[in-house]
């Protein structure tokens, strides 16, 4: 039987606010549009309602999807509302009722049904976790917009205004989505998160077909959302979040990796967010000080005493395990620091990449980051970027990297200002 930590009482304030205390302002007028449902949402609290909604979606062949959740008090976010919309109806499913959500997850995993989301990766995670199957046929409007000369990441409100001519009212920034009953304000807010997505998807599809970027957009959605592994914790990503910009020796780095992996497991066992189990600062202190005895753990700032009681011996074992790693097997995580000359070159390359991306009508931030360009600058300039690097595969290579490397080899990159925007000459 797992031993559990004391229940946490310090849930963030928004989870205790009264549902009527966060007005969203005057609702926007819903325009007459064949793909925008003007009806009030149906609140669904039983399996029959879910079955009817799923049958309707299968008949239509596509639907908009979003969720509202609380992520501050449990390992997996607590689902509070599931929003589904077609051009004909909107359903708000209440997961806090005794309902079976598997038909919803099966719907999203069905390649014959198009699921429209906006920045939907976290909303799609339950599909991979509950089915061990990947979401399929995903159209993410945030990704699609980045191929249509819109900024990345673009907000939903921006796309609603751009594609539908509707300026949404102020959103609910702090709210208790687990409070029942849901107020009319909250139901309207939740509905508007999906109401306009079918119309936005149609508008972006037209633009993508005109620019011939539809295949590139689909590939980006597949690569970033349609794999089970994407939704599993990535040890390297978790480690880098804790490490941030701090410097560690190779031994310290090895121990920190073990500690981050342990915290993830402990958080899942306790059903708490990882940072609620132990703060990052505690993991860093253990990695730096490598304590040998339990008494030393008690001297660490912010170290919860229940953690020492439950996991103290295991933490000391991790310290010894890291010490026993042979030198040639230790990770080499030295922070990349540019010299002045390297910074000057990578900055010019970044400017050129931005110009090329804007000339092609693609948001540069979707392609890569300034930091990644700095790390890969020499390889890009020499045409030696690894074959499996993201910038050297798929649409990025064809649309950006190949012409960028041609430019650095002496071939001119011609740009013109046309229709009030930058275009390739």
pLDDT-based confidence at residue 25 (cuts at 50, 70, 90): low
Is the pLDDT at 393 greater than 60, yes or no?
yes
Query: Is CATH 1.10.3470 the classification given to domain 340-424?
Result: no
Query: Is CATH 3.30.1520.10 the classification given to domain 235-329?
Result: no
- Can you give the pLDDT at residue 23? 45
Give the global pTM: 0.91
- Can you give the pLDDT at residue 3? 54
pLDDT in tens, 317-350: 999 999 999 999 998 877 778 899 999 999 999 9
Do 340-424 and 235-329 have the same topology in CATH?
Answer: yes
Q: Where are the domains of the chain?
A: 13-231, 235-329, 340-424
CA distance 280 to 340: 32
CB count in 10 Å sphere of residue 179: 17
**SS3 label, residue 33:** coil
CATH superfamily of this structure's domain 13-231: Ribonuclease H-like superfamily/Ribonuclease H (3.30.420.10)
- Please tell me the least confidently modeled range out of 12-21, 119-128, 252-261, 289-298: 12-21
DSSP strand pairing (42-44 vs 90-93): parallel
CA distance 295 to 308: 10
CA distance 371 to 318: 32
DSSP designation for 397 = I
Mean pLDDT of 17-26: 44
- Can you give the pLDDT at residue 14? 36
pLDDT in tens, 75-113: 999 999 999 999 999 999 999 999 999 999 999 999 999
Sign of CA dihedral 168, 169, 175, 179: negative
């Amino acid at each position: 039987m797992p031993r559990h930590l004391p229940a946490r009482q310090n849930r963030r304030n928004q989870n205790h606010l009264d549902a009527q205390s966060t007005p969203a302002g005057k609702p926007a007028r819903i325009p007459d549009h064949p793909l925008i449902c003007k009806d009030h949402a149906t609140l669904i609290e039983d399996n029959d309602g879910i079955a009817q909604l799923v049958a309707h979606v299968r008949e239509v062949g596509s639907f908009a999807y979003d969720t509202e959740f609380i992520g501050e008090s449990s390992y997996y976010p607590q689902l509070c509302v599931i929003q589904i919309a077609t051009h004909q109806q909107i359903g708000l499913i209440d997961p806090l009722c005794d309902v079976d959500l598997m038909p919803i997850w099966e719907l999203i995993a069905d390649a014959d049904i198009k699921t429209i989301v906006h920045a939907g990766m976290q909303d799609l995670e339950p599909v991979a976790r509950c089915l061990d199957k990947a979401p399929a046929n995903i159209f993410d409007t945030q990704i699609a917009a980045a191929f249509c000369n819109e900024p990345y990441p673009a907000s939903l409100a921006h796309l609603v205004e751009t594609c539908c001519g509707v300026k949404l009212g102020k959103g609910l920034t702090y709210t208790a989505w687990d409070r029942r009953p849901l107020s009319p304000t909250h139901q309207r807010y939740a509905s508007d998160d999906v109401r306009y997505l079918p119309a936005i998807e149609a508008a972006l599809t037209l633009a993508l077909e005109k620019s011939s970027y539809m295949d590139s957009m689909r590939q980006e959605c597949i690569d970033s959302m349609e794999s089970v592994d994407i939704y599993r914790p990535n040890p390297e990503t978790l480690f880098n979040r804790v490490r941030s910009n701090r410097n560690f020796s190779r031994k310290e780095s090895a121990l920190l990796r073990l500690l981050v992996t342990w915290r993830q497991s402990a958080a899942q066992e306790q059903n708490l967010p990882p940072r609620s189990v132990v703060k990052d600062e505690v993991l860093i202190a253990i990695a730096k000080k490598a304590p040998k005895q339990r008494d030393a753990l008690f001297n660490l700032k912010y170290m919860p005493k229940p953690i020492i009681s439950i996991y103290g011996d295991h933490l000391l074992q991790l310290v010894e395990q890291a010490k026993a790693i042979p030198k040639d097997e230790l990770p080499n995580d030295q922070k990349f620091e540019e010299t002045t000359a390297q910074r000057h070159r990578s900055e010019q390359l970044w400017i050129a990449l931005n110009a090329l991306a804007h000339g092609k009508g693609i948001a540069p931030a979707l392609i890569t980051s300034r930091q990644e360009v700095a790390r890969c600058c020499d390889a890009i300039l020499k045409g030696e970027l690894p074959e499996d690097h993201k910038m050297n595969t798929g649409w990025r290579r064809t649309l950006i990297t190949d012409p960028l490397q041609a430019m650095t080899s002496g071939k001119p990159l011609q740009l013109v200002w046309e229709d009030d925007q930058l275009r390739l000459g």
